[in-house]
């Protein structure tokens, strides 16, 4: 074990499942103390049991709401004494398999204003909110790494879910602004843009053999991403290995964009 995160404290949002859960495990193995934030209490409880490390603690938090974020960030800072890494991974695409209804994302002509507001809050405003409340702690230490999560859908490809695509494209712009503004204070900010990763968010692909095969065949690496594929990129961005990397977007998509 290299311990590339020894001495660091990391907050990971959306850490109860998928990519965030994988990152929490790997970050803890690499020596970090990890605050796992998620809105899903039951999944958080299962996640800590699964990781089984004294270095992780869970915090129920809905990152879309300022009061929840503010309370939890203070609790993390009080319990850990510092914050060095903020991995803003929480998100959801509001798109289910099958016929769409008003609770789902879709094309501009069919999306309701309510869904626009909800998805924008969860997928974009949340990124601002937790950044706002964590930055004072990172700035105090004059060092830190912010990792934002976008997608290939939005900044790089078209997408059928217009609200999600808009949010994910906006995250790239915000990250460049963070890198520019806070770089002189020792803070780095970067984006991970995953391709199709085998998590609950992609159930509709995983449960449809034809759709799954179509993604696999399009990818030069001929497979979907696994949560750990993305978590390893996050580890690089969290650790001092990436000390000279800021304002960048790392696409981790098995070559999907090459097609």
Q: Which is nearer to ligand NAD, 77 or 152 (CB)?
A: 152
By beta-carbon proximity to ligand NAD, the closer residue of 43 and 211 is 43
Tell me which residue has tokens 């997928």. 123
Q: Which is nearer to ligand NAD, 140 or 208 (CB)?
A: 208
Which positions are annotated as active-site residues? Answer: 164
Cα 96 to Cα 113: distance, rounded to the nearest angstrom: 18
Q: Which is nearer to ligand NAD, 40 or 185 (CB)?
A: 40
Those residues whose C-beta lies under 8 Å from the C-beta of residue 99, and which sit 6 or more positions away, are none
Task: Report, in Å, the least distance between residue 50 CB and ligand NAD.
Answer: 13
Task: Supply the minimum distance, in Å, between the C-beta of residue 56 and ligand NAD.
Answer: 14
Name the minimum Å distance from CB 247 to ligand NAD. Answer: 19
Residues that bind ligand NAD (CB under 6 A): 13-14, 16-20, 38-40, 43, 61-64, 89-92, 122, 126, 149, 151, 194, 196-197, 199-202
Residue 30 C-beta: closest distance to ligand NAD, Å: 19
CB of 16 to ligand NAD, least distance (A): 4
Nearer Cβ to ligand NAD (14/144): 14
Residue 29: Cβ-neighbour burial (10 angstroms; 0-12, 13-18, 19+): middle
């Amino acid at each position: 074990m290299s311990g590339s995160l020894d001495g660091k404290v990391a907050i990971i949002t959306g850490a109860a499942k998928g990519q965030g859960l994988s990152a929490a495990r790997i970050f803890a193995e690499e020596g970090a103390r990890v605050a796992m934030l998620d809105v899903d209490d039951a999944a958080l409880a299962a996640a800590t049991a699964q990781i089984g490390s004294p270095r992780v603690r869970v915090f129920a938090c809905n990152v879309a709401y300022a009061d929840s974020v503010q309370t939890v960030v203070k609790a993390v800072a009080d319990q850990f004494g510092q914050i060095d890494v903020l991995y803003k991974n929480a998100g959801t695409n509001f798109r289910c398999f099958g016929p769409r209804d008003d609770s789902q994302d879709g094309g501009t002509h069919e999306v309701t204003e309510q869904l626009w507001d909800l998805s924008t809050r969860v997928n974009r405003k949340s990124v601002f909110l937790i950044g706002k409340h964590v930055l004072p702690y990172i700035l105090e230490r004059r060092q830190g790494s912010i990792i934002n999560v976008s997608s290939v859908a939005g900044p790089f490809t078209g997408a059928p879910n217009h609200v999600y695509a808009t949010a994910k494209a906006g995250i790239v712009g915000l990250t460049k602004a963070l890198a520019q503004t806070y770089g002189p204070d020792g803070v780095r900010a970067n984006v991970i843009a995953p391709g199709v990763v085998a998590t609950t968010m992609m159930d509709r692909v995983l449960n449809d053999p034809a759709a799954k095969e179509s993604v696999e065949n399009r990818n030069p690496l001929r497979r979907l991403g696994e949560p750990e594929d993305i978590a390893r990129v996050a580890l690089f961005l969290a650790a001092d290995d990436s000390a000279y990397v800021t304002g960048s977007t790392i696409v981790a998509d098995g070559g999907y964009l090459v097609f």
